[in-house]
A = this chain, B = another copy of it.
Amino acid sequence: MQKDKKQLLLDAALKLFVEYGFHGTPTSLIAKEAGVANGTLFHYFKTKDELIVALYVDIKNRMAAYVFENAKGQATFKETVKEQYLASLFWAQDNQLQYRFAEQFKNSPYLSQIAPDEIEASVKPFHDMLRMGIKEGVIKSQPVELLFTIISSHAYGINQYFMSTNFSKAKQHQVISDSFEMLWAMLT
């Protein structure tokens, strides 16, 4: 039983988009790489843009699911934040293509095709959590949007660092763990 063709198309598109960019990748090449006919792409996605947006939404959902799955049921606030931070970076580590695609997408004009309230909804759980931390007096009283952005971009930076080095997985885990303690010091 092989993967269904929709998934094959998404996999092929991901790989090619990261390598050649959105418009540097013709739909014909995506179909070829996926091993399906040209028209099949348009059977599953009305337009190329729809494929690009669908791919982004799919990746975002998978990452969010992974982070929440791995960070649930922590005893303290700090442990919750830490596990979410670690899970994000571990996910990025194991899904470099997805991560790079997401960054490319976020910095492109395609981002405007995602409804603002959809973006809003995806960050809400994190904002709520941070609000709780402030209420409990564990972290600094600052706008949660600012705190969340700082945490996210800190993780982004660590990931960039890994992309330019050649650390073993164990070494990377070490750096991630250390970097969280630096980050935490900044938040409290």
Contacts of A21 in B (CB 8 A): 22-23, 108-110
Contacts of A186 in B (CB 8 A): 182-183, 185-186
- Chain A 91-127, CB-CB to B under 8 Å as 1, else 0, gives 0000000001001101111100000000000000000
Contacts of A104 in B (CB 8 A): 107-108
Copies in the complex: 2
Say which residue of B20, B156, B158 sits within 8 Å of A156 (CB atoms): B156
| 8 Å CB interface, A1-58 against B | 18-24
Question: How far, in angstroms, from A130 to B58 measured CA to CA in the complex?
Answer: 40
Is A70 in contact with chain B by the CB < 8 A criterion?
no
Contacts of A140 in B (CB 8 A): 182
Question: How far, in angstroms, from A165 to B146 measured CA to CA in the complex?
Answer: 10
Say which residue of B107, B109, B158 sits within 8 Å of A103 (CB atoms): B107
Given A104-B108, A183-B186, A186-B185, A165 and B153 touching (CB < 8 A)?
A: no
Could you pull out 20 A-B pairs where Cβ atoms are within 8 angstroms?
A: A21-B22, A21-B108, A21-B109, A23-B23, A24-B109, A103-B107, A104-B108, A106-B107, A140-B182, A145-B165, A146-B158, A146-B161, A146-B175, A149-B160, A150-B182, A153-B157, A153-B160, A156-B157, A183-B186, A186-B186
A146-B179, A182-B186 known; 6 new pairs, CB 8 Å cut-off, are: A23-B24, A100-B107, A107-B108, A145-B165, A153-B153, A153-B154
